[in-house]
Amino acid sequence: MKQTDKILLYMQTEGEITPLDALREFNCMRLAARISDLRKAGHKIGRRIEKGTNRFGEVVHYAVYWLEVAA
């Protein structure tokens, strides 16, 4: 199964995915590229940027992706 298929299935079952989820679950270091592939294949995927803190106490930003529900 390709990474894009695994990521799509993950979003269908878990709801949202972050780059850290993709790295842990699928050893995928380029989630944004795989999301781009899924969008090119016709999937509607939402994105928001969240703020967190790394282990050094520094502020970091990361994307959260999800499948958008057709109305």
Tokens of 43: 């999937």
Q: How confident is the model at residue 71 (pLDDT cuts 50, 70, 90)?
A: low
Residues 19, 43 contacting (CB under 8 angstroms): no
| pLDDT at residue number 69 | 81
Q: What is the pTM of this model?
A: 0.90
Tell me how far apart the alpha carbons of residues 45 and 48 are, in angstroms, rounded to a whole number.
Answer: 10
Domains of the chain: 3-67 (1.10.10)
3-32, pLDDT tens digit by residue? 999 999 999 999 999 999 999 999 999 999
Q: What is the pLDDT of residues 27-69, one digit of tens each?
A: 999 999 999 999 999 999 999 999 999 999 999 999 999 999 8
